[in-house]
Amino acid sequence: MSERRTDKQRNSPWGGNFTVTATTEADTKTVLVDDEEGNTIYWTPGDQISLFNNSGDEVVFSTNLEANSTVATFTNDATFDAPESLLAVYPTRTDKETTYDATSNTIKTLHIGGTQTAVAGSFDPRYAIAVGTPKESGSTELKFKNIHTLVKFTIGGESAPTSVKLKNNGYRMIVGNFDYNLTNNTAT
pLDDT tens string for the chain (188 positions)?
Answer: 344 444 434 444 555 578 888 876 645 545 555 555 555 678 888 889 999 999 999 999 999 999 988 889 999 978 899 998 999 999 887 777 899 999 999 999 998 877 888 777 677 777 788 899 999 988 899 998 888 777 777 777 788 788 888 777 776 777 788 999 999 998 88
* CA 60 vs CA 79, 98, 106: distances in Å: 10, 11, 19
pLDDT value for 124: 77
pLDDT value for 1: 39
pLDDT value for 9: 42
Contact 110, 98 (CB under 8 A): yes
pLDDT value for 36: 55
Write down the pTM of the prediction: 0.78
Sign of CA dihedral 27, 106, 128, 63: negative
Radius of gyration of the chain (CA): 18
pLDDT value for 56: 94
pLDDT value for 108: 95
pLDDT value for 22: 85
Sign of CA dihedral 10, 77, 178, 130: negative
Contact 118, 124 (CB under 8 A): yes
pLDDT value for 161: 82
